[in-house]
Amino acid sequence: MRKPVIAGNWKMYKSVGDSVSTALDLKPLVANANHCEVIIAPVFTALKSVADRLEGSNIRVSAQDCATQKTEGALTGEVAAFMIKDAGCSHVIIGHSERRQHYSETDQIVSKKTQAALEAGLIAIVCVGETLEQRDQGKALDVVKEQVTGSLSGLTASDLARIIVAYEPVWAIGTGRTATPEQAQEMHAFIRRVFAERHSQGTADALRILYGGSVKPDNIAGLMKRTDIDGALVGGASLNAESFAKIVNYNG
Ligand code: PEP
């Protein structure tokens, strides 16, 4: 049985104070959500304060990126995975399409960051997804297969147990245009098949695959009904505690 994951990506929004107050607003609203794991990903500067205030709650804290370099060093502006762990985080989002698009992150970089995250004891939420142009050209499956295999190269079976994949079609992120549950299910089942072929059926069966792209309180339930959709990575609708709590509590 795969436990669902509902993760909120706050992107570059909220001061430290706003992050803490949204996290504290969220806490009682999701306190009974035992059906899924709840994660929020504030900006770097707010991680420690939010993690400290959520200690003992059922909400885990994630960073939105980490350095490829595993140890400290002269790398201005970078934050190493072990520092994220030290700040109280359990997860890190890696290879989000905004980083692939605006900061030229390749599958090779995503793979290095993933290895750094796992070595630091974090769970890596690795994002993949095709652009609209690639989908229109009928290349969506090939693109996602290449991203999955390239981003997760060199990982052992025990590493893969600490990976969550987020399928986020670029054309659905922040656009209000969600993939239909059928489109998402097709891609999720495909990603699971890729894992089964490359690794083992057991690894594929255990893998949690989240959907991301304009998930809202009114479309989460339809997505969650699909066999291979194990949760959601939510951007815009996670910024407000009430709206994110409705998504977390999709089952009732
Ligand atoms: C995201 O940032 O990962 C995302 C899916 O954003 P949104 O929900 O706003 O489309």
Among 5, 167, 214, 238, the mutation site with the greatest number of ligand 1 atoms within 8 A of its Cβ is 214
Q: Is 219 in the pocket of ligand 1 (CB under 6 A)?
A: no
Identify the pLDDT of residue 247.
98
Ligand 1 atom 8: the closest Cα is on which residue? 235
Q: Is 235 in the pocket of ligand 1 (CB under 6 A)?
A: yes
Q: What is the helix (H) or strand (E) element at residue 159, kind and residue range?
A: helix 157-160
Q: What is the pLDDT of residues 6-39, one digit of tens each?
A: 999 999 999 999 999 999 999 999 999 999 999 9
**Are 91 and 123 spatial neighbours (Cβ–Cβ below 8 Å)?**
yes
Dihedral sign (CA 50, 158, 107, 8): negative
Q: Which amino acid is at 145?
A: K
Identify the pLDDT of residue 139.
97
Identify the pLDDT of residue 178.
85
Identify the pLDDT of residue 70.
97
> Rounded to the nearest whole angstrom, what is the distance from the C-alpha of residue 151 to the centroid of ligand 1?
20
Residue ranges in the chain whose pLDDT is less than 50: none
Identify the pLDDT of residue 1.
85
Ligand 1 atom at shortest distance from the alpha carbon of 212: 5
Q: What is the pLDDT of residues 82-101, one digit of tens each?
A: 999 999 999 999 999 999 99
Distance CA 60, CA 91 (A): 8
Identify the pLDDT of residue 154.
86
Q: Is 178 in the pocket of ligand 1 (CB under 6 A)?
A: no
Ligand 1 atom 7: the closest Cα is on which residue? 235
Identify the pLDDT of residue 184.
97
Among 173, 220, 239, the mutation site with the greatest number of ligand 1 atoms within 8 A of its Cβ is 173
**Are 7 and 39 spatial neighbours (Cβ–Cβ below 8 Å)?**
yes
Ligand 1 atom at shortest distance from the alpha carbon of 166: 3
> Rounded to the nearest whole angstrom, what is the distance from the C-alpha of residue 25 to the centroid of ligand 1?
21
Identify the pLDDT of residue 174.
84
